[in-house]
Chains A and B, each alone.
Chain A
């Protein structure tokens, strides 16, 4: 199946629809802007996440942190590949507006969930 041409139609604000690319960028997002936005969001969300703990436990237990790091990194790269491929598949499946709305709602829910989790585990400064 040949690679489908990305519809480059831009709406009035010159922003290609279906382009999230971080916060309020008007021009079509540059590769760098999307890279930085995704990287910071994922990095922040990942710290303190359970994957971290899994890696920690294994590295402490095995005494071979390098091997553990290699295994964890491979797994994380594969899982982000799965995520991206799934996202692109959804983008082909659903109408852009619908996907955007669903995606927006999911991100807000994730944000609320993450925020609640963070607040709940705030050490109470007694």
Chain B
């Protein structure tokens, strides 16, 4: 059975467009822009995204009943806030003591 390229292409396009400008991608831009380890940022985000879609594909329709997704999103929100706070604090600190 030939590989259904049509399906592959349509999934790729759908997910790629859905992801463009998505808050996850904004977070990736932010973290990679302020990190000295862009490689790790790429590896971490790519792995996480693939795992998340694996979970999504495997769980089929019952994802929300299986995993309290909004509780997870709350945890993610806290994660974003923490990273954001740390960045702001560091940017304030580095303006007071101008790094050479």
Q: Which residues of A contact B (CB under 8 A)?
A: 6, 9, 11-12, 15-24, 28-29, 31-32, 34-56, 58-60, 62, 64-65, 67-84, 86-88, 90-91, 96-101, 103-115, 117-119, 121-122
For chain B, residues 35 to 61, give those with C-beta under 8 angstroms from any C-beta of chain A: 35-61
Q: How far is the CB of A64 from chain B (nearest CB, A)?
A: 6
Q: How far is the CB of A12 from chain B (nearest CB, A)?
A: 7
Q: Are A99 and B82 in contact (CB under 8 A)?
A: no
- Binary contact readout B56-73 vs A (1 if CB under 8 angstroms, 0 otherwise): 111111011001011111
Q: Are A111 and B84 in contact (CB under 8 A)?
A: yes
In angstroms, Cα B73 to Cα A42, docked, is 10
Q: Which of B23, B36, B56 meets A110, CB within 8 Å? A: B23
Q: How large is the interface on B (under 10, 10 to 19, 20 to 34, 35 or more residues)?
A: 35 or more
Q: Are A20 and B46 in contact (CB under 8 A)?
A: no
Q: Are A42 and B27 in contact (CB under 8 A)?
A: yes
Q: Are A42 and B45 in contact (CB under 8 A)?
A: yes
Q: Are A104 and B86 in contact (CB under 8 A)?
A: yes
Q: Are B16 and A79 in contact (CB under 8 A)?
A: yes
Residues of B within 8 A of A87 (CB): 28-35, 38, 41
Residues of B within 8 A of A72 (CB): 11-12, 15, 53, 57
Residues of A within 8 A of B13 (CB): 75
Q: Are A76 and B34 in contact (CB under 8 A)?
A: no
Q: How far is the CB of B69 from chain A (nearest CB, A)?
A: 3
Q: Are A112 and B94 also in contact (CB < 8 A) when A20-B87, A84-B38 are?
A: no
Q: How far is the CB of A108 from chain B (nearest CB, A)?
A: 4
Q: Are A101 and B48 in contact (CB under 8 A)?
A: no
In angstroms, Cα B17 to Cα A75, docked, is 9
